């Protein structure tokens, strides 16, 4: 009987402690749910207008800011949850410090991508919407993220390239200029009159409506004397806009002009002799 009374008394004494623990656990759960909801809502809100034109933050910075705030709120939420459960702040800082060191050593390449992403955002060799070419990929920049850059290639395929690969290699940005120089090398036969062919090609290039006369007039140079043909280098400045279509039209116009003038465009020939 005395043992039963002692157990009952013990339950009565620990009852308030259990109630406090349950209250703290419930509060921690609510903090966790609310924190994750806020983080996801804020990230979606910031990224939702990533291609807008009326926003204070430009399109290139927006995804990184959204991801950075998301992970910051998650970290604060986890800290608040553990504190609500009674974990000491000094212990949390020690655990976070050790975890950060371990994660940093294990994910050094990932951290390198983050550092490269920040360098891309600071120095701005590329922006959202610009067409770039790198050893890894080429296409229009869709997003510069915290870990990787998203590129859509000319075929419409989305490519995710780690920021470190982009930062460590050559970047050609085709959107940072208003005009580009088109160079077309074409071979003509040795029986053709070089001066006539040169004048014909220069006039053909000038006749194209999209050809620019600045910074220099279209011109043709004799580039090389090959085994089967004389190589002429046709050079003209074109607007950067509609580059692919304009350069295609120029090649078509050059070939058509040569055909009409009866100027042969030879191709390599192979002579095979039978030896008995």
CATH number at residue 199: 3.30.70.100
Q: How many domains does the chain have?
A: 3
Q: How many CA atoms lie within 13 A of 107 on its CB side?
A: 12
Q: Give the span between the Cα atoms of 17 and 107, in whole angstroms.
A: 41
How are strands ordered across the β-sheet holding 138-144? Answer: 158-162, 148-152, 138-144, 131-133, 172-173
Kindly report, residue by residue over 217-244, the tens digit of the pLDDT.
Answer: 999 999 999 888 999 999 999 998 889 8
**Which pLDDT band, with edges at 50, 70 and 90, does 183 fall under?**
very high
**Which pLDDT band, with edges at 50, 70 and 90, does 56 fall under?**
low
Cα-Cα-Cα-Cα dihedral sign, residues 136, 141, 145, 150: negative
Query: Does 191 reside within a domain?
Result: yes
pTM: 0.65
**Which pLDDT band, with edges at 50, 70 and 90, does 81 fall under?**
confident
Q: Give the span between the Cα atoms of 91 and 99, in whole angstroms.
A: 12
How are strands ordered across the β-sheet holding 179-188? Answer: 179-188, 230-239, 219-225
Q: What is the DSSP string of 28-51?
A: HHHHHHHHHHHHHHHHHHHHHTTT
Residues 47 and 86 in one domain: yes
Residues 169 and 183 in one domain: no
**Which pLDDT band, with edges at 50, 70 and 90, does 211 fall under?**
very high
Query: Does 119 reside within a domain?
Result: no
Query: Does 275 reside within a domain?
Result: no
**Residue labelled with tokens 């926003």:** 55
**Which pLDDT band, with edges at 50, 70 and 90, does 11 fall under?**
very low
Residues 8 and 90 in one domain: yes
3-class secondary structure, 195: helix
Domain that holds residue 154: 125-173
Query: Does 269 reside within a domain?
Result: no
Query: Does 187 reside within a domain?
Result: yes
Q: Is residue 50 a contact partner of residue 65, using CB atoms and an 8 Å limit? A: no
């Amino acid at each position: 009987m005395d043992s039963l009374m002692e157990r009952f008394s013990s339950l009565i004494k620990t009852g308030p402690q259990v109630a406090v623990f349950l209250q703290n656990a419930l509060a921690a759960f609510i903090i966790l749910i609310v924190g994750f909801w806020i983080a996801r809502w804020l990230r979606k809100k910031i990224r939702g207008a990533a291609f807008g034109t009326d926003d204070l933050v430009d399109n290139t910075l927006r995804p990184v800011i959204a991801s950075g705030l998301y992970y910051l709120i998650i970290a604060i939420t986890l800290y608040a949850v553990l504190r609500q459960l009674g974990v000491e702040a000094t212990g949390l800082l020690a655990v976070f410090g050790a975890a950060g060191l371990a994660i940093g050593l294990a994910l050094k390449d990932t951290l390198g991508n983050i550092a490269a992403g920040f360098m891309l955002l600071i120095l701005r060799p590329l922006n959202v919407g610009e067409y770039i070419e790198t050893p890894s990929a080429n296409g229009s920049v869709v997003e510069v993220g915290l870990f990787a850059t998203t590129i859509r290639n000319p075929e419409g395929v989305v490519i995710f390239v780690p920021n470190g690969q982009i930062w460590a290699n050559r970047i050609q940005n085709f959107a940072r200029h208003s005009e580009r120089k088109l160079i077309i090398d074409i071979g003509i036969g040795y029986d053709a009159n070089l001066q006539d062919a040169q004048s014909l090609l220069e006039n053909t290039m000038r006749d194209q409506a999209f050809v620019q006369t600045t910074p220099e007039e279209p011109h043709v140079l004799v580039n090389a004397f090959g085994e089967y043909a004389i190589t002429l280098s046709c050079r003209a400045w074109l607007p950067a806009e509609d580059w692919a279509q304009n350069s295609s039209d120029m090649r078509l116009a050059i070939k058509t002009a040569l055909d009409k003038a009866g100027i042969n465009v030879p191709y390599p020939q192979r002579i095979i002799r039978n030896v008995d």
